[in-house]
Structure 1
Amino acid sequence: MKLALNHKEADRVPYDLAGTTVTSISGIAWERAMKHRGLSPEFDDSKTVDIVSQIIIPPEEKLVELKVDTRRIGAGRVLDQDKSLKKEGDTWSFIDQYNCRWEMVERKDYYFNQTSHPLEQYEDIQDVLKNLTIPDLSCRKAEYYELFDKQRAELGEAALVADRNCAGLTEMFLRFRGYENGYMDMALYPDESRELMDLIAEHKMQYWDIFGDYIVDRGLQDSFLVAAECDDLGTQQSLLVSEGMLEDIVFPSMTKYISFIKNKIPGIKVFFHSCGAVKPLIPKFIETGIDILNPVQYTASTMDLKGLKRDFGEDICFWGGGVDTQEVLSKGSPERVRDEVKKNLDIMAPGGGFVFVPVHNIQEDVPPENFWAMWDAWNDFSAY
């Protein structure tokens, strides 16, 4: 893994499964895949690290069998989720630590959908800032240390990934305000929107301050290779908002917390997840200090793998783009999955700088035979 992240070829292309909450697998998809090959499907329900996306951390012994090169250490997405989860009829619901409400209907939804935004009722942007509530994490330092120690105790030898505590700046902004209000705020009130982004960035820095202290206190500076962050900024065809608006409102706060992470944990590589057609932003990502791009959604506009590797392969690592999840992995034949994995490895593997993982999490709709077609192809074709 270390060689790959430094743009060098190792013995094979590294493989990630569940190293982050955007490169994992749903519990149902996992069970089906394991049963398909007569393997034990059991996993610990408490390892549902992202209740919203319904993804899990598979058992350590299975990660070893699957030759997974990564292990996640980090907070769950929802604080005290067991206390807040409720069920009425077929609908599960909870309210997270940011006062956002989430619901999932059994046998219909693959994951939870946000159904309320805590600051959507305010018309005055000043009222939004006055009523914003973000948890203070300083009182949770001992709790986080205990959690990280417990996670480490269950893991074998692998590259450790320090994973984030919340969604990205723009995502959190829109979760607070709702999509229509949030986009209008960015257009009409850029100064106040930037202030709100800064408050979210400070929340992230509070978490990374604790994590950095933990790494130093436990003497783990050589074990953690990656710090994982995110912010979905693209659609299938374009950016969510204009490049100029992102540079004016989002990137200043993003630069603050990315710089904070790299100063707090010297030598760490920053992984950044952003779906969609984000090619125009890649030079800015690199300038900001981002070392790794995920999920490399090559079916989105302008995101052709050959072009990305040619234009940016020496300056940023690609962690993803192994196989398309929207159509190929979920709906294609095993033969098509295998062909696509081989094709993408042929493009992305040369020269290092590539970690194999599908484009985003493996959802419930992925057939078990396609999971194994993907894994077998990686196993067969990943050697240098």
Structure 2
Amino acid sequence: RNCFRGYQGRSEMEEKMNSKERIKMVLAHQEPDRVPIHDGPWGATVARWHKEGLPDGITPGEYFGYEMVMFGADTSPRFPIKTIEKTDKYIIQTTSTGATNKNFWDHTSTPGLIDRPIKEKQDWFPIKERLEPDYTRVDWVSVFNNYHAAQSEGKFICYAGGYGYDVLQAYIRSDQLLVAMVDDPEWIKDMIMSLAKLMIEMAKMMMEKGLKFDAFFDYNDLGYRNGLLFSPETYRRTHKEADTMVYSFFHQHQMPVLLHSCGNVKEIIPELISVGLDCLQPLEVKAGMDLIELKKQYGDKLSFMG
């Protein structure tokens, strides 16, 4: 059965606004010509869609008319990537953060987390020394080609990056990280601030080269199905200073801030608003993120995406 046969796409003649105009209106709490469309399906999902009728060689973004385009820089320590084991089902590799992961070729699951470079606090400092801004952290040819294409199509262009808990899991095991956030919050704050400062410097570099971004797209999973991964108080001790710094920087450049944060994050929304968040995504329904409820409670302060 071809699940995609009936969809004909949208005629450009029917569009009253382009993506940039449409999303800017939504973030300004105004009603555009229609609801903007964007998503980020897993590779396994895309492969299934191709089997169900999505034309070969066509991405979901092209088919459905996704309206946002993301650009960013490599803000890792840039350790060499090495292949340790490779079979017809999976590959085990080191990463640019110094971690070791197991990935299945069919992308039906999240990576297997085999090893992390930080076992104790002292392991952080050699990594920190590698987190310096550098022009080689950006693939300039690819970025400019894709940027000019996105501009010509009227897409909403984001600078995207992460620097908080979600990113730190690439350096230290989640269970160790959560304990350290309580036992040594100043150390964790140092890690987050170091990554945040590098991300800001790379954004400056890209903007100085002529790239004009419409928004900052942050990613930091703070929740799971039943609630937050750590308390609002722990957030204040470890994350709040960095979030305030980062969000203020982008606001100074007339860029609203969107945050991808999975799970049930309702308890921390007031904190996120206090540091300047403009839009929350993805509103995970199975985790209790009820859009109608959130709109009633925070609709005058936040836009919602999901």
Q: What is the deviation of 1:315?
A: 0.8
Alpha-carbon contact 2:222-2:265 (below 8 Å) kept: yes
Q: Name the aligned partner's letter for residue 139 of structure 1.
A: Y
User: Does the 8 A contact of 2:79 with 2:96 survive in 1?
Assistant: no
Whether the 8 Å contact between 1:30 and 1:41 is mirrored in structure 2 is no
Verify: 1:306 aligned to 2:296, yes or no.
no
Mapped partners of 1:8, 1:73: distance in 2: 26
Report which structure shows greater RCO (CA 8 Å, sep ≥6): 1
The residue aligned with 1:14 is 36
Q: CA deviation at 1:107?
A: 5.0
**Unpaired runs of 5+ in structure 1?**
18-23, 44-57, 321-384
| Contact 1:226 1:270 survives alignment (8 Å) | yes
CA distance in 2, matches of 1:190, 1:80: 25
- Quick one: distance in 2 between partners of 1:172 and 1:151? 25
Q: CA deviation at 1:211?
A: 2.9
Aligned match of 1:282: 269
Q: 1:204 aligns with which of 184, 199, 206?
A: 199
Task: State the 1:132 CA deviation.
Answer: 2.8
- Write the mapping of 1:152-231 to structure 2, written as runs, cut at 5 A: 152-155=147-150, 156-165=152-161, 167-214=162-209, 217-218=210-211, 220=212, 224-231=213-220
Shift of 1:274: 0.8
Q: TM-score, normalised by structure 1?
A: 0.65
- Which residue does 1:95 correspond to in 2? 94
Residues 173-199 of structure 1, C-alpha deviations (whole Å, 9 max, x = no match): 333221222122122112222222221
Contact 2:228–2:264 at 8 Å: present in 1 too? yes
Letter in 2 for 1:279: K
Pick the aligned partner of 2:49 from 22, 25, 33. Answer: 33
Verify the 8 A CA contact 1:97 1:135 in the aligned structure 2. no
- Shift of residue 281, structure 1, vs aligned partner: 1.4
Question: Contact 1:208 / 1:261 at 8 angstroms: preserved in 2?
Answer: no
- Change over 3 Å in CA distance of 1:152–1:197 after alignment to 2: closer
Cα deviation, 1:296-344, whole Å, max 9, x if unaligned, reads 113224x222210101111111011xxxxxxxxxxxxxxxxxxxxxxxx
Q: 1:132 aligns with which of 127, 132, 136?
A: 127
DSSP-derived class of the 2:227 partner? coil
Indicate the percent of aligned positions where both proteins have the same amino acid. Answer: 19
- RMSD over aligned Cα, in angstroms? 2.8
The question of whether the paired residues in 1 share the 8 Å contact of 2:163 and 2:192 is answered with no
CA distance, structure 1, for counterparts of residue 85 and residue 75 of structure 2: 19
Question: Which has the larger displacement, 245-254 or 66-75?
Answer: 66-75
Please show how residues 1-384 of structure 1 align to structure 2 within 5 Å. Answer: 1=22, 2-17=24-39, 24-37=40-53, 39-42=54-57, 58=59, 63-75=61-73, 84=82, 87-89=85-87, 90-106=89-105, 109-120=108-119, 122=120, 125=121, 127-133=122-128, 134-140=130-136, 143-155=138-150, 156-165=152-161, 167-214=162-209, 217-218=210-211, 220=212, 224-263=213-252, 266-301=253-288, 303-320=289-306
- Displacement of 1:35 after TM fit? 4.6
More displaced stretch, 143-152 vs 287-296: 143-152
For residue 6 of structure 2, what is the aligned residue in structure 1? none
Structure 1 distance, partners of 2:47, 2:80, is: 22
**In 2, Cα distance between the equivalents of 1:213 and 1:113?**
38
Instruction: Measure the CA separation in 1 of the matches of 2:56 and 2:48.
Output: 7
1:380 is aligned to: none
> Does the 8 A contact of 1:98 with 1:135 survive in 2?
no
**TM-score of the aligned structures, taking structure 2 as reference length:** 0.80
Moved beyond 4 Å, runs of 4+: 75-87
Residues 196, 71 of structure 1: alpha-carbon distance in 2 compared, 3 angstrom cutoff = closer
> Which residue is 1:353 aligned to?
none
